[in-house]
A and B are shown apart, each in its own frame.
Chain A
């Protein structure tokens, strides 16, 4: 049969997914050339994301990168945006946006009272500051995230990213309520979990932090002022030693 020119093969691959594009590199030499091309990976990086990174300060070296290398760079090197309290990255398999709000971007009750919350700089955090719970009854943390920041037509999960101080108390006693609320109509998910010792649903992340899923929602998009609210609450017990890096939203893999 007539051989398809390499630009056509590139065009076809650019309409699949990052996973399919990576697999295509193993089909044949021609396919590898087609699949590794800028044409393909330019298409696979969400345009929303490109706009954001090219506006941020780290853009000069990124703009000149070959697009496939840029794609994988963005999967493993979250870009800090906004006031320095938010980061975005790409999810490797799907090419969708991962969005994380750092502790300074969250609404933490009593955050400005040093007796209750201590702000520290930890080297393994992507953000300049994280929040450590010193001693408090009223644990109440909220994030209100506009879904415009996320990829449309995607199921997202929200994760509390945290760790426990060596010196801690109260966290083994009462469950913390993790909740996400989408569209302010229905409570989508509510989990009640004791963080100490490490619960089954929590896991250790690659960057040294712990995370626990707070719930999932389907981001349709195209709707103005659409937000997802994530909250962490526990007000019946004196607690200390919880360190919060932030809340991350990531697409789930089926």
Chain B
């Protein structure tokens, strides 16, 4: 999201010879599932394939407010934060190092459930690098955790029959040993 000064600068640049402002203010407006409206910088919005396709495919005017019914406002805030940073760092020399530092800070206080919500959003908005990052964070979190923990986290039920579960367990008994005990 930009400052008023930046807004003014971009509008000035777009004035045609006759002094009229063109109808592409380089801002994309979306509405989240919980009804909040967000203005995104075009360069950040275009990092999200879903949004990019929506506008580019049928050449839809940026004046249209795109509905993002599957995204909550707090999730979008986080996504914008990550993508803005990514775009900012993208062409810098120390890209990898600085991105890593940002990534560590970004996930530092996030609960596993938060990470899961964000992975859903990253998948829906089709932001590959963000999805890869969040999935890795979740993967690191579930390593060596037992089956009950993973069910709790992902909100899934044990829908196996007794036999199916036993079979799944005995297929690789060594995978169920030496797990993290210090969980909750």
Contacts and interface: CB of A to CB of B under 8 A. Distances in A.
- Between A12, A14, A18, A32, the greatest number of chain B beta carbons within 10 A of the residue's beta carbon is seen for A12
- Between B113, B144, B175, the greatest number of chain A beta carbons within 10 A of the residue's beta carbon is seen for B175
A116 interface: no
A13 interface: yes
A27 B147 contact: yes
Contacts of A15: 135-136, 139-140
A32 B135 contact: no
A26 B146 CA distance: 10
A13 B136 CA distance: 9
Nearest to A35: B168
A93 B174 contact: yes
Contacts of B59: none
A19 B174 contact: yes
A177 interface: no
Q: From DSSP, what is the main secondary structure of chain A's interface residues?
A: helix
A11 interface: yes
Contacts, number: 88
Given A1-B155, A19-B175, A20-B175, A25 B135 contact: no
Contacts of A236: none
Nearest to A32: B168
Given A16-B139, A20-B143, A1 B171 contact: no
B175 A30 contact: no
Contacts of B169: 26
Nearest to A1: B155
A167 interface: no
Contacts of B174: 19, 92-93
Contacts of A4: 116, 119-120, 123, 154
A22 B147 contact: no
B116 A1 contact: yes
A1 B115 CA distance: 12
Nearest to B165: A26
Interface string B128-156: 00011001101110111011001100111
Contacts of B160: 26, 28-29
B151 A17 contact: no
State the 4 A-B residue pairs at the shortest beta-carbon distance, nearest first. Answer: A15-B139, A22-B172, A22-B175, A26-B168
Given A8-B135, A20-B143, A27-B156, 4 more contacts: A2-B70, A15-B140, A28-B151, A31-B154
